[in-house]
Chains A and B, each alone.
Chain A
Amino acid sequence: MAELINPNPIIHERKAHLRSKPVTRAEVVGAGTDEEREPIDVLEIFEHIRDINDPEHPYTLEQLNVVSEEHIIVDDAKGRVSVRFTPTVAHCSMATLIGLCLRVKLLRCLPPRFKVDVQLTAGSHSSEAAVNKQLADKERVAAALENPNLLGMVNKCLQGPAGEAGGALAMAP
Chain B
Amino acid sequence: MAAQLSVQRACSELGDDESRSSARDEIVLAVGERKMTVLEVALALQGPLTSPEREARENGTRVLGEIASRCRGVLNSGELHTLSEFLAARLRDWPCAGAAATACRALLQPPSPYDAGPAPAATLGEASAGAILEATAEALRTAQSLRQEERSALLQLLLAALGGGWAARLAAAAPAGGAGGAAAPSGLAPALLDAFLGAVDGEKDPRCLLLAFESVAELCRLFHSRGVDPAPLRQASEELVDWLATYFPISFNPPPAAPGARNRSITRAELAAGLHAAMASSPFLAGGVLQLLAEKLSSTYRPAKEDSLSALRRCCAAYGPDALAPHLGQPSGAAPAQVWSALRSELLQPVSHNCGGGAAGDADGHVAGAAAAAACLTAVARAAGPGALDRTALQDASMSDLVAVVRAARGGEPGAGAAGGGGGGGPSSTVAARADRQVLCGALLVSAVCAAGPGSTAAAQTAVLGPVQAVLAEALAGPAGGGGSGSGTAVYDRPDAVMYGMTLLASAAEAVAAELVGGPPACVSSPADGAAGVAAMTDMKRALTAALSALSGPLLATDADADVSMDTDSAPPPSSPLAGFSPAAAAQLRLAVVAAWRALLSLHMGYVGVLAGMVSSGGVPPEALAALAALTLSPEEVAAAAEQLCTCALAAAAAAAAGGSGSVAVPSRMAWGRQVDACQEAAAALQQLLSLPSLPAEAAASGGRNAATSAEAVVTLLVRQLTEAMSPASSTAAEGAATAAEALRLAVSLAEAASQSPGAAAFSAAWLAALPPLLVGTPSRRPRESWLRPCLAQLASRVLPAAARTPSSAAAAAAAAASLAAHGLAAAALTAAAEWDASAAAASDDAEQAMPFVGIDASGGFDEPPLMDAWCAAVEAAVSCCDDNQQLGLAMEAAEVVSAAAAAAAAANGAAMPRAALPLAAAVIAGLRPAVLAPHSTQAVADGLLRLLSAATSPAAASGTATHPALRPAAVALAAAVNRWQDAAALDAWLTSAFRPTLLAALAVPPGRTAAAAPAAAVVAAVGWVGRALALRTHPALSEITTALLACLTSPSGVATSDDMEVDAPAAAAVPGAGGAAGSAEAAAAFGLLVAEAAEAGGVELAARPAAAVCRVLWQQRCFSMCLQALAQAASAYTPPAYSSAGDAGGPALTPDPLPLPLAAAAGNLAAAAPAALCRQDAPRLVPLLVRSARRLAAALSKAPSAPGEPSGAGPSSGPSLPPVALAAALRGALRVVREWLNTQAGPQPNEALGKALVDCAPELVGLVCAATAVTAGSASSSGGACGGAGAAPLGAATCAVREEALRCVLALMDAVPYHVLHPMRQQVLRCVTRTLDDNKRGIRQLAVKARRVWADK
Contacts and interface: CB of A to CB of B under 8 A. Distances in A.
A99 B246 CA distance: 49
A117 to B, nearest CB: 18
Contacts of B1341: 40, 44
B1336 A28 contact: no
A112 B1348 CA distance: 13
* Interface band, chain A: 20 to 34
B1334 A23 contact: no
A108 B1349 CA distance: 8
Identify the interface centre among B1274, B1290, B1291, B1334: most chain A CB within 10 Å of its CB. Answer: B1334
Given A33-B862, A111-B1333, A113-B1334, A25 B1297 contact: yes
Interface in A8-35: 23-25, 27-29, 31-35
A33 B1287 CA distance: 11
Given A34-B1288, A171-B206, A171-B209, A109 B255 contact: no
A28 B1292 contact: no
A137 interface: no
Given A28-B1340, A29-B1293, A34-B1292, A167 B255 contact: yes
A166 interface: yes
B778 interface: no
B264 to A, nearest CB: 14
Interface string B426-446: 000000000000000000000
B1349 A35 contact: no
A173 B209 CA distance: 11
B1345 A48 contact: yes
B206 A29 contact: no
B205 interface: yes
B204 interface: yes
Nearest to B255: A169
B1292 A111 contact: no
A3 B253 CA distance: 25
A111 B1266 CA distance: 17
B1336 A36 contact: yes
A38 interface: yes
B1315 interface: no
B1339 A28 contact: yes
Contacts of B1340: 28
A172 interface: yes
Contacts of A78: none
B1300 interface: yes
A28 B1333 contact: no
B1338 to A, nearest CB: 4
B183 interface: no
B14 to A, nearest CB: 36
A172 B1338 CA distance: 50
Nearest to A167: B253
B253 A170 contact: yes
Contacts of A44: 1338, 1341
A110 interface: yes
Nearest to A41: B1338
Nearest to A19: B1338
A23 B1342 contact: yes
A29 B255 contact: no
A108 B1346 CA distance: 10
A28 B1343 CA distance: 10
A95 B929 CA distance: 74
A155 B1352 CA distance: 12
A173 B1343 CA distance: 50
Contacts of A169: 206, 253-255
Contacts of B1333: 109-112
Interface in B1212-1264: none
B1296 interface: yes
Contacts of A171: 204-206, 209, 247, 251-252
Contact of B1290 (A25, A33, A168): A33
Interface string B1272-1289: 111000000000000011
Identify the interface centre among A29, A35, A37, A172: most chain B CB within 10 Å of its CB. Answer: A35
B211 to A, nearest CB: 14
A35 B1273 contact: yes
Nearest to B1292: A34
B1300 A25 contact: yes
Contact of A29 (B253, B1297, B1353): B1297
* Interface band, chain B: 35 or more
Contacts of A48: 1345
A173 B244 CA distance: 9
Interface string A146-167: 0000000001000000000011
A38 B1337 contact: yes
Given A25-B1300, A109-B1345, A171-B205, A35 B251 contact: no
A39 B114 CA distance: 73
B266 to A, nearest CB: 9
Given A37-B1336, A40-B1341, A32 B209 contact: no
A2 to B, nearest CB: 25
A113 B246 CA distance: 65
A94 to B, nearest CB: 23
Contacts of B1273: 34-35
Interface in A46-91: 48
B1297 A167 contact: no
Contacts of B862: 33
Nearest to A79: B1334
B20 to A, nearest CB: 31
Given A108-B1348, A109-B1333, A32 B252 contact: no
Contact of A168 (B253, B1291, B1338, B1353): B253
Contacts of B1274: 35
Contacts of B702: none
B1272 A31 contact: no
B1337 A31 contact: yes
A29 B1274 CA distance: 16
Contacts of A24: 1339
Contacts of A34: 1273, 1288-1289, 1291-1293
B256 interface: yes
B863 interface: yes
Contacts of B1198: none
B1035 to A, nearest CB: 37
A27 to B, nearest CB: 4
A155 to B, nearest CB: 8
A32 B204 contact: no
Interface string B214-249: 000000000000000000000000000000001100
Contacts of B549: none
A116 B115 CA distance: 76
B1296 A35 contact: yes
Contacts of A173: 202, 204, 246-247
Contact of A31 (B202, B252, B1289, B1339): B1339
A29 B1334 contact: no
Interface string B740-770: 0000000000000000000000000000000
B1304 to A, nearest CB: 9
B706 interface: no
Contacts of A32: 1292, 1296, 1336-1337
A35 B1275 CA distance: 11
B1295 interface: yes
Interface of B: 202, 204-206, 209, 246-247, 251-256, 862-863, 1272-1274, 1288-1293, 1295-1297, 1300, 1330, 1333-1334, 1336-1343, 1345, 1348-1349, 1352-1353
Interface of A: 23-25, 27-29, 31-38, 40, 44, 48, 108-113, 155, 166-173
Given A23-B1342, A34-B1292, A35-B1295, 5 more contacts: A31-B1339, A35-B1272, A167-B256, A170-B252, A170-B253
18 contacts: A23-B1342, A24-B1339, A25-B1297, A29-B1296, A29-B1297, A31-B1337, A32-B1337, A35-B1336, A40-B1341, A48-B1345, A112-B1330, A166-B256, A167-B252, A167-B253, A167-B254, A167-B255, A168-B253, A170-B252
